[in-house]
Amino acid sequence: MLAHAKAVIQQALELNSAAEALGRQEESGLSLAIDNALLMPAFTKILTAFGEKFPATAIEIIT
């Protein structure tokens, strides 16, 4: 039961984050096409930082 309650709370937090992002007129999704040769640790750090700043924006990586 506790695990279910935690999951419900997490979903509520994610929904709230998405609603706030929409209120700030942020994009809900971003698609990036990138060559496999460019997938390096720096790119991962950039994506991590982006995810922290814009948690409600889904990122699709196309290689």
Q: What is the pLDDT of residues 3-57, one digit of tens each?
A: 877 787 887 777 777 667 667 776 678 888 888 777 788 888 888 998 888 887 8
Q: Structure tokens of 5?
A: 């309650």
Residue 27 is predicted with a pLDDT of: 67
β-pair partners for 32? 61
Tell me how many domains the chain contains.
1
Condensed to tens digits (0 to 9), the pLDDT of residues 31-43 reads 888 887 777 888 8
∠ CA 27-32-38, rounded to 5°? 145
Domain limits for position 18: 2-62
Q: β-strand 29-33 against 58-62: which pairing, if any?
A: parallel
Q: How far apart are CA 53 and CA 33, in angstroms?
A: 21
